Structure 1
Amino acid sequence: MEGNETGHGLVMVGMPMFNEEETVASVVIRCLPYVDEVLCVDDGSSDSCSRLAARAGAIIHYHRANRGYGAAIRSIFRIAREKNVDKLVILDSDGQHQPEDIPAVLAGLDKEDVDVVIGSRFVDNSDRSSMPMYRRLGISMINTASNLTSDLGVKDTQSGFRAFSKRALNLLAFENEGMESTLEVLDQIKEKGLNVEEVPIKVRYDVPKSSTYSAFGHGFTVLTYALISLSHKKPMLVFGLPGMGLLVSGTTIGLGMLNSVEELTDGTIALSVGPGLTGAWLSMLGLSLVFSGLVLHGARTLMRRVVLQRIRSL
């Protein structure tokens, strides 16, 4: 199949690119049989990746400085809207993603009411064995936090292999310019009422440069965003539940201290000060967290009511 001959309309692949001269040309060449255009956003690279990608057949958009993964994705979305693209596929330029999976991802968008397709490493557990253990652990933590926030139930929230319909392209808007944009997009998908489907893909981890970003730095940034987002949307879960746990623990320690009171032979009472202070500290911290959760929950509820009233008054 040469180019897009499947009736998908105008289909474009978008790839963030930062110093990927070893792999990008090959990825571009392998993408072209399945789509109409390949767009590479050079996020301030210092090597020859733009020249090589252009020779391979890609359109190049330049950032003057390294702004981050999310900034590159924002540029891809903007250009796709300007070109009136019908379907946009995002994948990595480092060779981890297999362009041969593009037809399966696009086929997912052809299903009724599907707006976003995520190429997943976990949808059928097919790629778990090849993934390093530290990646599996980190992604599992991020998936849990993200799904508590968005309620989408996505199994691979950190997949960079995604496809978007024209409707999704026109509705999604995000602000973060770093790696946390991967989760912000999911939050937007939920808020805009878009439907998501996951399809299985294969990922290589033996590429020359599997990631421009440190895996641990990436994980810390994204997990921090997920927890902050979760605290905004479900404050009682983030603050109230741990607070109740600390309050119960502190109270238990305090009661245990009272039960261990000893009366000495001279009539004085011996108290174990250490456990008492620990119990008091845990109880105060627990109360503070519960109070914070209640205040934030109340504020969020009030804001939602105000917004709904304004919408109804229009």
Structure 2
Amino acid sequence: MPVFNEEETIGTVVMRALEHVDEVICIDDGSSDASARIAEACGATVIRHRVNRGYGGALKTLFKHARQMDVDALVVLDSDGQHDTNDIPRLLEPIMDGSADFTIGSRFVEGGGGTHMPAYRRLGIRVITATSNLSNELGIRDTQSGFRAFSARALDRLRFDAEGMELSLEMLEDAQEKQLHVREVPTVIRYDVPKGSNYTAVSHGFTVLSWALISLSQKKPLLVLGLPGIGLFATGAAMGLNVAQNVTNTLDTFLGDGLTAIWVGVLGLSLMATGLVLQGVRSLLRHLIVEHFGID
């Protein structure tokens, strides 16, 4: 589990987790409090970062260490007490029976939920999840849950670059590309813990949503650029027709509205053309990669 200044909760979480797993590994991500010492005293193996690298940086270190240990499975959960350690066996069951490579403790499948979950956070997660699902075919309902489990196969194949919270989406994108089987398992996540996430809902949401939109623009440029392009072109056309109908107005007004209609329409056409070109280039590159390297 990643740890950053969680001295109030880390001890309890470590001891409860040890009831279900063989070993607990804590990545102390530059904490300035006693988190690392408490985790060690409670039986965890602690790996320290000299500086705070972020959630993604902590998981990179965790994955590297798990591969070196040649583990059968890895469970990742938060150290602030939000996740119920009693659900660890539920996440591990599909991994151990071979029916899944990657499981997610989900708040939004039947049986899952969030106690005292703020409405704005629920809305934000829904928006991020919907955006993410436009760029992949996994159909995950809770892309932002940090309660996850991975098989040895997933640990060996998954690779990610993000250092921040956007890792949650990058990991799913990579899982689909590597043809890993992802399954959601119901869990209840608490929001009444003494010290919640170190990330504010706004900063977390903005960072992750930005990554999702960038990913979507790379995978479906026609959707991201083409639809706004059509909208702008239609707006420009409507403005042009309005100018034509009011041609009897003064010349200044005619020129001003007419020029606005022209540049809005041209911008729309440019976006549509860019979307078509990028979609074509992506399809061509995918075809070449499959044909010459056998990678799909």
The TM-score normalised by the length of structure 2 is 0.94
Instruction: Give the equivalent residue in structure 1 for 2:128.
Output: 142
Q: Secondary structure of the residue that 1:262 maps to in structure 2?
A: coil
CA change 1:284–1:63 in 2 (3 A) is: same
1:16 aligns with 2:2: yes
Instruction: Give the equivalent residue in structure 2 for 1:296.
Output: 278
Residue 269 of structure 1 deviates from its aligned partner by: 7.3
Contact 1:235 1:297 in 2 (8 A): yes
Using the TM superposition, name which of 282-291 and 69-78 deviates more: 282-291
Question: Which ranges in structure 1 are unaligned for 5 or more consecutive residues?
Answer: 1-14
Instruction: Give the equivalent residue in structure 1 for 2:179.
Output: 193
Inter-partner Cα distance in structure 2 for 1:184 and 1:49: 28
Using the TM superposition, name which of 78-87 and 100-109 deviates more: 100-109
CA change 1:128–1:261 in 2 (3 A) is: farther
1:280 aligns with 2:262: yes
Contact 1:260 1:271 in 2 (8 A): no
Instruction: Give the equivalent residue in structure 2 for 1:157.
Output: 143
Alignment of 1:102-117 (within 5 A): 102-117=88-103
State the Cα deviation string for residues 9-30 of structure 1 (Å, max 9, x = none): xxxxxx0011111111100011
Instruction: Give the equivalent residue in structure 1 for 2:160.
Output: 174
State the Cα deviation string for residues 194-214 of structure 1 (Å, max 9, x = none): 111111111111112111112
**Higher Cα Rg: structure 1 or 2?**
1
Using the TM superposition, name which of 33-42 and 136-145 deviates more: 136-145
Contact 1:19 1:46 in 2 (8 A): yes
Residue 312 of structure 1 deviates from its aligned partner by: 5.4
CA change 1:51–1:232 in 2 (3 A) is: same
Residue 154 of structure 1 deviates from its aligned partner by: 0.3
Inter-partner Cα distance in structure 2 for 1:125 and 1:143: 19
Residue 310 of structure 1 deviates from its aligned partner by: 2.1
Inter-partner Cα distance in structure 2 for 1:23 and 1:119: 20
Residue 311 of structure 1 deviates from its aligned partner by: 1.5
Question: Which ranges in structure 2 are unaligned for 5 or more consecutive residues?
Answer: none
Inter-partner Cα distance in structure 2 for 1:309 and 1:223: 33
Contact 1:108 1:199 in 2 (8 A): no
Contact 2:114 2:188 in 1 (8 A): no
Equivalent position amino acid for 2:289 in 1:
V
Inter-partner Cα distance in structure 2 for 1:282 and 1:128: 45
Q: Secondary structure of the residue that 2:88 maps to in structure 1?
A: helix
CA change 1:239–1:269 in 2 (3 A) is: closer
The TM-score normalised by the length of structure 1 is 0.89
CA change 1:55–1:270 in 2 (3 A) is: closer
Equivalenced residue count is: 295
Q: Secondary structure of the residue that 1:153 maps to in structure 2?
A: coil
C-alpha root-mean-square deviation of aligned residues, in Å? 1.9
Inter-partner Cα distance in structure 2 for 1:149 and 1:37: 36
Residue 125 of structure 1 deviates from its aligned partner by: 6.8
